């Protein structure tokens, strides 16, 4: 059980880093590399940005739940 939650935590951490790097920043950044700068001229909140926000929140909640579960399982 502990190994499964640890693997889920590592996957959630990697996915969270990727999702945060893909977000549109004030100065561009890595999101412009994947076409983020092109969609910014059409509107402030596109469908892709809203879906990216939702996926980031869901991944953050999963990450938080995995941390709490590991803390409870590994408690002496």
pLDDT in tens, 9-33: 999 999 999 999 888 666 555 656 6
DSSP state letter for 24: -
pLDDT value, residue 25: 65
Rounded to two decimals, the pTM is 0.71
The answer to whether residue 41 scores a pLDDT higher than 70 is no
Range of lowest pLDDT (35-39, 43-47, 56-60, 63-67): 35-39
Q: Are 3 and 17 in contact (CB under 8 A)?
A: no
Please identify which residue in the block is written with the tokens 């004030």. 26
Point out which residues pair with 6 in neighbouring strands. none
Q: Are 50 and 14 in contact (CB under 8 A)?
A: no
Provide the pLDDT confidence category of residue 55 given band limits of 50, 70 and 90.
very high
């Amino acid at each position: 059980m502990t190994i499964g939650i640890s693997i889920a935590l590592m996957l959630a951490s990697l996915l969270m880093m990727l999702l945060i790097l893909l977000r549109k920043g004030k100065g561009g950044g890595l999101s412009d590399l994947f076409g983020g700068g092109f969609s910014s001229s059409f509107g402030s909140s596109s469908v892709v940005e809203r879906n990216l926000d939702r996926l980031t929140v869901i991944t953050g909640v999963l990450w938080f739940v995995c941390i709490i579960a590991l803390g409870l399982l590994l408690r002496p």
